[in-house]
Every structure is written in C-alpha cells, then in structure tokens.
C-alpha cells in the first residue's frame, strides 16, 4: 500500500476543490445560456407576425385616429351681404332671359341671306310671356329668339318699341301650363347715391351672370346710339358688358329699379361706368307699349330746324343754339299759343326750310340747344299736359304756355333738319 505525505494530501485536496468549482461554474453557465436562447426564440416567434413597417403603420394609424376624433362642423356660414346677394339671385335669375337675333344681309352676289345678329338680355314682366328689353338689342332683327333659364328657347315678336327711351317689349308664347317667373318694378325715385344695386344679364353670352355695385350718380342725361338724350339715367359701377343690355338693375329686395342700357368705355368693355333707364320711365313706356303698341307722348305741333352757325349767319340771327320753328300747324296748339313760324323759304341741303320764326330755347326750364334736347324735354310729357316754352324772338326771350296734343303716330313732327 502506497503512503502519501502530508503535503501531497493538502495539494490534492486544493486541486479537487478548484476542479469542483470550475465544473459547477461551467454547468451553471450552460443552463443559463440555454434558457436565454429559448426566451429569444420565443420572442422572435411572437414578433414574426408583425413586420417593422406594419408596426410603424399601426402607430401612424393610431395617430390619425386620434386626429380625426376632433369635432368638425359641416355648417357653412355666410355674411349678411352674401345672403342678400344669394336671395336676390335665387328670386330673380329665372326671370332674366337671353335674347338672340337673326338679321338679313346681302352677300357678294347681291342675294339676301340670314345671319346672326346681336344678343342681349331681357326681363319677363308678365306671366303671359312679355319681356322688357332695349330697342338696340332687337333693332333690325328679322327673327328674335328668347332663351329661358331652363334652356328652352322660343321665337318672339315685337309688341312695341320706343326709340326715345331705348325700350322695347317683345312677347313669346310658352307652352300651356308653364308658370313663368317674373320681376316686379321698384321705385327708382327713392334711390340714393351709394345704394347697393345688383345686375343680372348675359355678358358675352354667359347667361344669367350677376354683378354687384352701387348707385354712382343719379339724373344723368345721356345721348344714346340713336342720337336721343335719355334723362334721369342711373349711373352704376356694377360691371355691365356687351350682352347685359336690356337686363335688370335690381335693388337689394329684388325689385327692378332700372334697365341696363349702355356703358361708357374706351375699350367697349366695362370700365365701371354703366347707365340704366330708371324704372319710373320703364313703367310708363312699357304700359303704353302693351296698351297701344307705341308711347303716347304729348307734342307741340310744329316742324323744327336745329340751329347751327351756318343757318344763324345766313339768317342774321343773334344766337346759334336752339331749335327754329320752321312751320306751325294751322289751328294747332303752337299756333293757338302765339308761336310764330318762319316765312322766308330757303334751301338747306335737299330740304326747303322757313326762316324768320321763333327759336325755342327752353321747355319747363330745361335748356334746349338741339333736337335731341327738345325731344328729351318732352319725353315724359303726356297729351293734355301744359308746358312752358321759352322762345327767342327779335332779340328777346318770352315764355308761352302750350297744352300738348296727341297726334297720330305717323304724324309725329320730323324735327331733324339742321343736325
């Protein structure tokens, strides 16, 4: 039997203890690593059902949901001015019509052909199909067509027209059972400068276009394309363009206080200076056109010559403005009032005129310097009205009163000489 020394036993004991510690540590590490790997494997397996992109998307969607949770109002609010505009347009646009015309022209072979004429606007003033518009919109037309807001189109006929006010009434016949929307007249005598106005028309063919503006001025005397002076015109800065003629100028209650008639512009387009015939005139003219087919105006029974420098120098007159009484109807209202006619015959162009008569310079304190002024001063006068006429005779002015007559339409004095 082999015996070990004391020192050998101690060394063996220490070596065994160290080996035991190392083995224990190795076993512990092995089991710890296995457990961690199992946990990682389980985590990977669970995470594999959702990609990183999907995770980000989920976060984004969650954020979006949080954002859309905020309450959103669907109510649209309008200002008082906008509500007013909308109300007027809804109430009136259906009564505004588009007017197109056909005219007869001559081609290169001197044959008559039909061509497109002008276009404009109009207002339905009666449920039977009567439309108020401007004379210049339908002038020279062989065919007139009226287009309604629903797209239907009808051929119209002329009921009557009045060059002195540039107003005309035409009529179309709607199908039986059709209910037409109409526009009522307002009171243009109560208008104030600065008052809001609304125009509806068909500028450049864009049907039922609305523009807004104000009354820029009142009482404007404006000469139209027919060389007539229309008094008391309403001036507005509401945009009026070609195609607006004949359309309504409305107040904020939807009443027609004027008929858009002309613009002042160097380019032919709106420059913020438009003019409308006042409703006061339109009511009177339309009523006569509907009833008589013409306007019953009182007249002075004379033939007139517009003065100019040539006639004044030839006749040795001391004034060169006014209208000269060439002839006065025997027994007529001018003759009865003491108006003196001319006695000296003279040839003026291709016409024989008579010099030496009275020169009319005023009617009811309205200055008369031309034929246009003369007719303008009488435009609103009815048969039977009394007017005060100032005449220049032998270098002096005197005033006489004349009761206006009601001649037949064809006998209306043609006072167009000397223009």
Catalytic center residues = 136, 166, 245
Beta carbons of 275 and 220 less than 8 angstroms apart: yes
Question: Which position has the token pair 């008082």?
Answer: 80
Tokens read off for 62: 């969650």
Looking at the chain, how many residues does it have?
A: 419
Distance CA 244, CA 209 (A): 9
Beta carbons of 387 and 381 less than 8 angstroms apart: yes
Beta carbons of 234 and 249 less than 8 angstroms apart: yes
Question: Which position has the token pair 């080996």?
Answer: 19
- State residue 109 phi and psi, 5-degree precision: -95, 15
Q: What sign for the dihedral angle of Cα 90, 166, 379, 239?
A: positive
How is 172-200 classified by DSSP, letter by letter? Answer: E-PPTT-------B--GGG--TT-EEEEE
How many CB atoms are located within 10 Å of the residue 180 CB? Answer: 18
Distance CA 42, CA 132 (A): 90
- State residue 209 phi and psi, 5-degree precision: -90, 135
Q: Output DSSP code: residue 77.
A: P
- Sort 149 into a burial class: Cβ within 10 Å, 0-12 / 13-18 / 19+: middle
Question: Which position has the token pair 């004949």?
Answer: 246
Beta carbons of 162 and 294 less than 8 angstroms apart: yes
Closest CA to 371 of 298, 312, 308: 308
Q: What sign for the dihedral angle of Cα 95, 96, 100, 101?
A: positive
User: How far is residue 359 CA from its own chain's centroid?
Assistant: 42
């Amino acid at each position: 039997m082999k015996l070990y020394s004391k020192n050998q036993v101690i060394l063996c004991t220490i070596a065994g203890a160290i080996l035991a510690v190392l083995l224990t540590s190795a076993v512990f590490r092995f089991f710890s690593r296995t457990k961690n790997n199992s946990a990682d494997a389980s985590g990977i397996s669970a995470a594999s059902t959702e990609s990183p992109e999907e995770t980000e998307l989920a976060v984004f969607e969650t954020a979006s949901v949080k954002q859309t949770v905020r309450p959103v109002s669907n109510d649209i609010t309008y200002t008082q001015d906008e509500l007013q505009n909308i109300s007027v347009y809804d109430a009136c646009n259906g009564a505004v019509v588009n007017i197109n015309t056909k005219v007869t022209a001559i081609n290169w072979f001197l044959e008559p052909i039909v061509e497109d004429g002008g276009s404009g606007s109009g207002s339905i003033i009666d449920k039977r199909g009567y439309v108020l518009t401007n004379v210049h919109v339908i002038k020279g037309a062989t065919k007139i067509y009226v287009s309604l807001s629903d797209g239907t189109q009808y051929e119209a006929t002329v009921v009557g027209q009045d060059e002195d006010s540039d107003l005309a009434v035409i009529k179309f016949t709607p199908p039986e059972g059709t209910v037409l929307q109409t526009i009522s007249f307002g009171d243009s005598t109560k208008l104030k400068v600065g008052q809001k106005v609304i125009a509806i028309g068909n500028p450049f063919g864009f049907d039922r276009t609305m523009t807004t503006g104000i009354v820029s001025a009142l009482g404007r005397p404006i000469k139209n394309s027919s060389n007539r002076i229309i008094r008391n015109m309403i001036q507005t800065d509401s945009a009026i363009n070609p195609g607006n003629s004949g359309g309504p100028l409305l107040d904020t209650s939807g009443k027609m206080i004027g008929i858009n008639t002309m613009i002042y512009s160097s380019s032919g387009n709106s420059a913020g200076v438009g003019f409308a015939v006042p409703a006061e005139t339109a009511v009177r003219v339309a009523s006569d056109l509907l009833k008589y087919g013409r306007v019953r105006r009182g007249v002075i029974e004379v033939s007139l010559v517009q003065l100019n420098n040539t006639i004044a120098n030839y006749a040795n007159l001391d004034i060169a403005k006014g209208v000269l009484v060439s002839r006065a109807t025997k027994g007529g209202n001018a003759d009865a009032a003491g108006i003196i006619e001319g006695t000296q015959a003279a040839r003026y162009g291709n016409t024989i005129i008579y010099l030496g008569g009275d020169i009319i310079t005023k009617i009811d304190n309205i200055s008369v310097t031309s034929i246009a002024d003369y007719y303008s001063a009488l435009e609103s006068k009815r048969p039977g009205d009394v007017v005060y006429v100032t005449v220049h005779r032998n270098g002096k002015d005197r005033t006489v009163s004349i009761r206006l007559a009601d001649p037949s339409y064809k006998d209306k004095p043609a006072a167009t000489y000397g223009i």
